[in-house]
Amino acid sequence: MRKAFGPLVVVGAALFVAAPYFIAQAPYESTMGLIQKIMYYHVPSWIAQYCAITVCGVASAIYLFKSHPVADRYAVSAAELVVLFGLMGLITGPLWARKAWGVWWQWDVRLTSALLMELIFVAYLLVRQYGGPGSEKLASATALFGTATGPFVYKSVDIWRTVHPKTTVVPTLPSSLGAPLALTSAAFVLLFVVLLTLRVNLAERQAALDEMYLALED
Amino acid sequence: MNDGHLDFDVVEVADVSRHFGRRRALSHISLTARAGDIVGLLGPNGAGKSTLIAVLATLAAPNSGEVRYGNRPARRLGPGLRDRIGLLAHELHLYPELSARQNLRFFAQLYGLATRGPVDRALEAAGLSDRADEVVSGFSRGMRQRLALERALLHRPRLVLFDEPFTGLDDRAVGLASDRLRRLAADGAIVVLATHDLDLADGLVTRVALIRDGRLLSDEPASTGLRARYRALIGAT
Amino acid sequence: MTFLRTAWLVLRKDFAIEVRSWEILTTTLFFASSCVLVFAFAFVKEGRAVEDAAAGILWIAIAFSGTLALGRTFERERYGETLRALLLAPAPRPALYVGKLLGMLALLGIAEALLVPMVAFLFQAALFSRPLLLAGLLAGGTIGFAAVGTLFAAMLVRARSRDVLLPILLYPITIPVIIAGVRGTAALLAEIPDEATATMWIGILVAFDTVFVTLALWTFEPLMTE
When comparing pLDDT for B32 and A9, which is higher?
Answer: B32
**Does residue A18 belong to any structural domain of this protein?**
no
How much is the mean pLDDT over chain B?
Answer: 88
- Domains contained in chain A, number: 1
Express each pLDDT in B44-96 by its tens digit.
Answer: 888 889 999 999 999 998 988 999 998 888 877 878 899 999 999 888 899 99
pLDDT at A9: 84
Kindly report the nearest CA distance between residue C103 and chain A, in angstroms.
Answer: 22
Cα–Cα distance for residue pair A125/C173, rounded to 1 Å: 15
pLDDT at A97: 80
**Does residue A12 belong to any structural domain of this protein?**
no
% of residues, chain C, pLDDT over 70? 100
pLDDT at A62: 95
In this complex, do A138 and C159 lie within 8 Å of one another by their Cβ atoms?
A: yes
Helix (H) or strand (E) holding B28: strand B23-34
Cα–Cα distance for residue pair C120/C124, rounded to 1 Å: 5
pLDDT at B2: 40
In this complex, do A210 and B22 lie within 8 Å of one another by their Cβ atoms?
A: yes
Helices (H), chain C: 2-21, 23-43, 53-79, 82-88, 93-122, 131-156, 162-189, 195-224
Express each pLDDT in C47-99 by its tens digit.
Answer: 777 778 899 999 999 999 999 999 999 999 998 899 999 999 998 999 999 99
pLDDT at C123: 87
Cα–Cα distance for residue pair B172/A61, rounded to 1 Å: 52
Express each pLDDT in B3-36 by its tens digit.
Answer: 446 889 999 999 999 988 778 889 899 999 999 9
When comparing pLDDT for C45 and B161, which is higher?
Answer: B161
Please count the CA atoms within 13 angstroms of the CA of C30 that sit on its side-chain side: 6
Q: Report the CATH fold assignment for B36-59+79-234.
A: Rossmann fold (3.40.50)
Rg (CA), chain A: 19
When comparing pLDDT for A59 and C2, which is higher?
Answer: A59
Whether the pLDDT of residue B223 is over 90: the answer is no
Kindly report the nearest CA distance between residue A80 and chain B, in angstroms.
Answer: 19
**Could you tell me which residues are beta bridge partners of residue B40?**
B193, B208
Whether the pLDDT of residue B132 is over 90: the answer is yes
Kindly report the nearest CA distance between residue A170 and chain C, in angstroms.
Answer: 26
**Strand B38-42 to B207-212 pairing:** parallel
Other beta carbons within 10 angstroms of residue B112's beta carbon come to: 14
Express each pLDDT in A87-105 by its tens digit.
Answer: 999 988 888 888 777 888 8
When comparing pLDDT for C51 and A163, which is higher?
Answer: C51
Express each pLDDT in C155-186 by its tens digit.
Answer: 999 888 889 999 999 999 998 899 899 989 99
Segment C146-162 mean pLDDT: 93
In this complex, do B82 and C13 lie within 8 Å of one another by their Cβ atoms?
A: no
Of A67, A213, A217, the CB nearest to B61: A67
Segment C105-124 mean pLDDT: 93
Of A119, A127, A159, the CB nearest to C165: A127
Q: Is C28 exposed, middle or buried (0-12, 13-18, 19+ CB in 10 A)?
A: buried
A105 in Cβ contact with A163 (< 8 Å): no
In this complex, do C152 and A141 lie within 8 Å of one another by their Cβ atoms?
A: yes
Of A116, A138, A148, the CB nearest to C155: A138
In the structure, what pLDDT confidence band is assigned to residue B144 with cuts at 50, 70 and 90?
very high
When comparing pLDDT for A29 and B180, which is higher?
Answer: B180
Show which subunits contact B, needing at least 3 CB pairs below 8 angstroms.
A, C
Segment A169-179 mean pLDDT: 64
pLDDT at B74: 82
Of B21, B24, B61, the CB nearest to A217: B24
DSSP state of C124: T
Query: What residues make up the domain containing A120?
Result: 35-217
- Range in A107-116, A191-200, B113-122, C7-16 with the lowest mean pLDDT: A107-116
Using a CB–CB cutoff of 8 Å, tell me whether A119 touches chain C.
Answer: yes
**Does residue A25 belong to any structural domain of this protein?**
no
Other beta carbons within 10 angstroms of residue A168's beta carbon come to: 7
pLDDT at A173: 63
pLDDT at C29: 96
Segment C195-207 mean pLDDT: 91
Using a CB–CB cutoff of 8 Å, tell me whether C207 touches chain A.
Answer: yes
Chain B residues whose C-beta sits inside 8 Å of any chain A C-beta? 19-24, 27-28, 61, 213, 215
**Does residue A6 belong to any structural domain of this protein?**
no
Express each pLDDT in B203-215 by its tens digit.
Answer: 888 999 999 888 8
Counted across chains B and C, CB pairs separated by less than 8 A come out at 74
In the structure, what pLDDT confidence band is assigned to residue A160 with cuts at 50, 70 and 90?
low
pLDDT at B12: 93
- Range in A39-43, A81-85, A139-143, A187-191 with the lowest mean pLDDT: A39-43
When comparing pLDDT for C32 and B47, which is higher?
Answer: C32
Q: What is the DSSP string of A119-179?
A: HHHHHHHHHHHHS-TTHHHHHHHHHHHHHHHHHHHHHHHHHH---SPPGGGGGGS-HHHHH
Using a CB–CB cutoff of 8 Å, tell me whether C222 touches chain A.
Answer: yes
Delimit the domains of chain B by residue range. 36-59+79-234
pLDDT at B153: 93
